[in-house]
């Protein structure tokens, strides 16, 4: 009877929007999700160990470029959204959603330390009648191998008095066409009851929930999405230097191929892969595949090609300078855009950082310009002491070469083209000419 009551009570709370939603990890995934629930009418508690993020949320100050402070202010002042770093408050929640980092270590092995430490922090505060959803991208089997035994060891009966689901995030920061509400949500539950609870949890804030048979299938779905992109981008990156040697504009080829109404999806080359998904997620599967004695050659080859692109950009820059009788050493190089993609303030795994690192090793004099950053932030891998410059005809003219690494829409491209001596264009923003080189 108690199990039936736990299921029915939670189901009704979710459907009636009377449940309290807790989201642990208030980054580029967690904050938009928290806003989506609060805008739907749920009371939402954001939990993060970063006190700076907590203070900014509670003071209605956005720390993510594409989220306005005005939107936060409405929700905070309506008491629909607040934030804390106190894990004790988990006991007051009906739903707990984990939006945590899952990086790779230096051996390209999954690092689940953020998930494990969070489970340890919330374990003593969990209670019957709650649902726990993991949204972090990870290898197939994580929910069943890590979360399931943890919850079971606490004495809960999963599927009866506690509910466990996996639903991978699909956020695309900076995409004005797609947001949390209109991106279909994949959902896999540990049991059929877990699926029903997960459906009630997510159907309130997204237009479509795509149910799959179990958590491992949902985990594999997210990996397939990003492996698909990584492999196809790797193909374009492999073709880029070949097309360059053949005197063919690969971007023109892609545009022409895109006119075919079936059988072709355009992907574009670039200076390498960045962000929290594509450079990392495919290697979760390569790691897990070794458990089954399998070698994922396509994935690893694409990773090698994509990882080599910053070095290719440096090679193109060096070759372009040589034509003017200048060595790369001591040349003044401007890197335009340090975000991993255009129009976002996110430098996670950004190839721009690798490019700056390689330029420093070659003893070039490097500066950067990015409308989203006044200084170059410290990351897990790099700590450059650089301040951004303003783009003017005088500043552009002072550089020996300009590398367009991230093509933000609010760059003045006419100014850049007119006053730059050499442009290494890694994004296909300019038409090639004597001083514009594909990188």
What is d(CA 136, CA 364) in angstroms, rounded to the nearest whole number?
38
Token pair 């100014």 is found at: 415
94 within 8 A of 129, measured Cβ to Cβ = yes
Q: What's the burial of 46, exposed, middle or buried (CB within 10 Å: 0-12/13-18/19+)?
A: buried
35 within 8 A of 58, measured Cβ to Cβ = no
In whole angstroms, how far apart are CA 258 and each of 2, 114, 232, 265, 285? 58, 41, 14, 7, 30
Query: How many residues belong to the chain?
Result: 439
What is d(CA 11, CA 197) in angstroms, rounded to the nearest whole number?
6
Query: Of 213, 243, 93, whose CA–CA distance to 144 is shortest?
Result: 213
3-state SS track over 279-316: CCCHHHHHHHHHHCCCCCHHHHHHHHHHHHHHHHHHHH
Q: Is 194 a catalytic residue?
A: no
Q: Which secondary-structure segment (H or E) carries 361? A: helix 351-361
What is d(CA 159, CA 138) in angstroms, rounded to the nearest whole number?
22
What is d(CA 135, CA 143) in angstroms, rounded to the nearest whole number?
10
Identified catalytic residue from 99, 194, 277, 369? 277
DSSP E strands, 339-421: 365-369, 401-404
Put the strands of the sheet holding 185-189 in their side by side order.
Answer: 81-84, 43-47, 20-24, 95-98, 130-134, 162-166, 185-189, 209-212
The structure tokens listed for 284 are 């979760």
| Residue 124 DSSP symbol | G
3-state SS track over 173-211: CCCCCCCHHHCCEEEEECCHHHHHHHHHHHCCCCCCEEE
DSSP 203-255: TTTSS-EEEESSHHHHHHHHHHHHHHHHHHHHHHHHHHHHHHHTT--HHHHHH
- Which residues does the annotation mark as catalytic? 277
């Amino acid at each position: 009877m108690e199990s039936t009551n736990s299921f029915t009570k939670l189901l009704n709370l979710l459907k009636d929007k009377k449940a309290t939603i807790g989201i642990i990890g208030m980054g580029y995934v967690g904050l938009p999700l928290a806003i989506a629930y609060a805008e739907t009418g749920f009371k939402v508690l954001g939990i993060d160990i970063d006190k700076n993020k907590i203070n900014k949320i509670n003071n209605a100050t956005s720390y993510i470029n594409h989220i306005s402070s005005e939107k936060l202010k409405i929700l905070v002042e309506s008491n629909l959204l607040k934030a804390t770093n106190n894990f004790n408050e988990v006991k007051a929640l009906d739903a707990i959603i984990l939006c945590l980092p899952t990086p790779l270590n230096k051996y390209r092995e999954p690092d689940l330390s953020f998930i494990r430490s969070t489970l340890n922090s919330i374990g003593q505060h969990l209670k019957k009648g709650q649902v726990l959803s993991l949204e972090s991208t990870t290898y197939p089997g994580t929910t069943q191998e890590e979360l399931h035994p943890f919850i079971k060891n606490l004495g809960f009966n999963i599927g009866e008095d506690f509910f466990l689901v996996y639903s991978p995030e699909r956020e695309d920061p900076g995409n004005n066409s797609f947001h949390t509400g209109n991106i279909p949500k994949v959902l896999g539950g540990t049991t059929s009851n877990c699926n029903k609870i997960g459906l009630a949890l997510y159907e309130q804030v997204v237009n479509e929930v795509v149910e799959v048979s179990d958590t491992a299938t949902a985990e594999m779905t997210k990996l397939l999405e990003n492996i698909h992109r990584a492999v196809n981008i790797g193909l374009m990156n492999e073709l880029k230097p070949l097309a360059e040697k053949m005197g063919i504009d690969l971007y023109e080829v892609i545009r022409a191929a895109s006119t075919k109404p079936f059988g072709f999806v355009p992907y574009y080359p670039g200076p390498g892969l960045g962000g929290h998904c594509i450079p990392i997620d495919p290697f979760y599967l390569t790691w897990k595949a070794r458990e089954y004695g399998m070698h994922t050659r396509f994935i690893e080859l694409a990773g090698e090609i994509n990882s080599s692109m910053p070095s290719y950009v440096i090679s193109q820059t060096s070759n372009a300078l040589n034509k003017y009788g200048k060595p790369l050493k001591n040349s003044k190089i401007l890197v335009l855009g340090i975000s991993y993609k255009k129009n976002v303030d996110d430098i996670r795994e950004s190839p721009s950082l690798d490019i700056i690192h390689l330029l420093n090793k070659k003893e070039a004099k490097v500066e950067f310009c990015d409308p989203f950053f006044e200084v170059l932030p410290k990351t897990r891998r790099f700590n450059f002491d650089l301040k951004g410059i303003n783009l003017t005809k005088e500043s552009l003219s002072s550089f020996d070469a300009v590398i367009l690494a991230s093509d933000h829409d609010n760059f003045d491209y006419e100014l850049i083209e007119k006053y730059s001596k050499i442009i290494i264009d890694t994004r296909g923003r300019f038409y090639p000419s004597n001083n514009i080189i594909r990188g």
